[in-house]
Amino acid sequence: MFNHPNINLYLNETQEFPYCTGCGHTMINKAVASALAKSGLAPTKINLISDIGCVGLVDKMFLTNTIHTTHGRSTAFATGIQLADEILFSNPNSPTIKSSDARLANPKKRSLLGVNEHFEDERNEADGALGQGCSLNFVMIGDGGATIGLLHLVEAARMNANITVILHNNFVYGMTGGQNSGLTPENFRTATTLSGSLVPNIHIAKLLEASHAGFIARKLATDKDLDDVILEAFNYDGFALVEVVELCTGYATKWNPLSKKDIEIILENTDQEERGVIVKKDTLAFAKKYLQSFKAKDDYKKPAKIKNQIKTDRDLNLKLILAGTAGEGVQFATSTLAKSLLKQSLNISQKNDNPVTIGTGYSISELIGSTEEIYYSAIDSADYVLISSEDGFKRVFNEIKKTTKVIIDSSLLIQEVKDKLSKIGCEIISIEGRNVLKEKRLSIFKLISELYRQETQLNKGLFVESINDSGKASDELKSIFK
């Protein structure tokens, strides 16, 4: 049926088809080879990515590059190959599959004589070992791969990766013995649904259309123009699905009448009777969108540098825990404090903690400032614990030791809290925060201001400088440090 003169440059005619007699895979293989021959692309510009199953026996039949992958994941691997190919390794001026007509028209570029060595090499020396991209990437996948890898198909369609998926739909998992698949229609008999499947099939075309696929076609393996539809899919710049409905003569035909008429009835009953090119939209493939969105800069942005300005008079090893409520700027306050300590030639180590839901509950930071190099970043016994809210108190209560100085917002010192702290025997420094501040969340800064009062070798001016540099200082915050 498919008799393009160049078909043997793509289909390995020294190999025997490894499929059962009458299996649709044989016809699909031939149609694919014919489509490739009609494309005129050099075989090694073509990547055949195969899934697992009878469909996965295809590799030896083709003289293209072949990448045999794991079950269901073929589409995801293909997406990775294609994105790298077009975004990283393509020369924007190179001829692509879309301009195969131009290539056909140019006699110099078209050769009929043999595998590979007779295709004019379009590569330049500058392409090196990895260019030039714009290869043709297509996936050969069956029921199994489509079921396990359903999410990868949806993702490739949604992303509009420039790959073609040739889905061999024979309603069963052939290689493993004809079990029911995600594409098995309701009432269809399989090895595992001998009295007829109780569950309807995934409507793969509708699912992928809903996933924004720009090209969807459905054909039968026996269609005489299968190669032309496949070629149209290959030429489509974006995600293309060609669902080919076929017979599994090893299993499915044992339990179900499957003449052409029977198949057409099944397709009608499952709302899949539309044939040919069902969807073809004008879309922009992902790689092109990506290249438009992200223009390469020379270098990536590096974090800001901070110079140390003054030294402390004596050795210092300060361990602090700051605790408050999520969203109130505890971690920002601690980062600012860390910068100030660094400017004072102290090494710093900061660790933050939240409940996993970052927006609510407590927010705490552990900060060590030391003249010595810091190896151990955990605080076994804090010098100061600054507590600005009830959330914070509940979280750090167990960290408070007898030798810890607790600087705490006065609003928290209800009798119960006072009793708990007095049992520990730690020093308590109560600071008016929430009761007097307009912005309650600035409480943590009032506590930090007290810290500077307590630890006289710490330079408050550096903290003020760091606050001002951040650009986040409100007037009320600035007034706390006057």
Which candidate, 19, 52, 57, 27, places its Cα nearest to that of 260?
27
CB closer to other proteins out of 174 and 185: 174
CA R_g for the chain = 34
Nearest residue to 149 via CA among 62, 207, 86, 196: 207
**Residue numbers 24-43 binding other proteins by CB under 8 A:** 42-43
Nearest to other proteins of 96, 272 (CB atom): 96
Question: End-to-end distance of the chain based on CA atoms, in angstroms?
Answer: 90
CB 225 within 8 A of CB 171: no
Site for other proteins in 141-170 (CB under 8 A): 151-152, 154-155, 159
Query: Rule CB under 8 A: is residue 108 a binding residue for other proteins?
Result: no
DSSP class of residue 300 equals: P
Question: Of 115-123, 165-173, 193-201, 421-429, which part binds other proteins (CB under 8 A)?
Answer: 115-123
Shortest spacing between CB 453 and other proteins, in angstroms: 25
- Interface residue with other proteins among 22, 104, 106, 121 (CB under 8 A) is 121
Per CB under 8 A, 103 contacts other proteins: no
CA distances to 23, 40, 54, 55, 328 from 248, rounded to whole Å, are 6, 31, 10, 11, 64
Q: How far is CA 227 from CA 56, 130, 220, 232, 348, in A?
A: 20, 30, 11, 9, 67
Nearest approach, Cβ of 154 to other proteins (angstroms)? 8
| Residue whose CB is less far from other proteins, 87 or 424 | 87
Specify the DSSP element, H or E, that contains 279: strand 276-280
Find the part of the chain contacting other proteins (CB under 8 A) among 44-52, 103-111, 192-200, 469-477.
Answer: 44-52
Under the binding rule (CB under 8 A), the answer on residue 291 touching other proteins is: yes
- The residues pairing with 65 across neighbouring beta strands, listed in sequence order, are 47
Exposed e or buried b per residue across 202-240, where buried means at least 16 C-beta atoms within 10 angstroms of its C-beta: bebbebbbebebbbbbbbbbbbeebbebbbbbbbbbbbb
Q: Which of 17, 40, 87, 274 binds other proteins (CB under 8 A)?
A: 87
Minimum CB separation of residue 96 from other proteins in Å reads 12
CB burial of residue 314 (10 Å; 0-12, 13-18, 19+): exposed
Pairing of strands 347-353, 164-169: unpaired
Other residues' Cβ atoms within 10 Å of the Cβ of residue 298: 4
Q: List the one residue from 147, 180, 256, 335 that touches other proteins (CB under 8 A).
A: 335
Q: Which of 7, 83, 385, 437 binds other proteins (CB under 8 A)?
A: 83
Contacts to other proteins from residues 304-323, by CB under 8 A: 304-309
Hey, which residues between 47 and 76 contact other proteins (CB under 8 A)? 47, 59-60, 63-70, 73, 76
Q: Is 84 one of the binding residues for other proteins (CB under 8 A)? A: yes
Out of 10, 119, 188, 362, the residue judged to bind other proteins by CB under 8 A: 119
Task: Please state, as a whole number, how many other Cβ atoms lie within 10 Å of the Cβ of residue 363.
Answer: 30
419 binds other proteins (CB under 8 A): no
By CB under 8 A, tell whether 113 contacts other proteins.
no
Cα separation, 334 vs 466, in Å, equals 11
Q: Is 285 in the site for other proteins (CB under 8 A)?
A: no
| Shortest distance (Å) from residue 54 CB to other proteins | 14
Site for other proteins (CB under 8 A): which residue of 137, 164, 181, 201? 137
For other proteins, give the closer residue by CB, 194 or 374.
374
Instruction: Report the residue number, 37 or 63, with the smaller CB distance to other proteins.
Output: 63
Q: Which of 191, 142, 188 is nearest to 169 (CA)?
A: 142
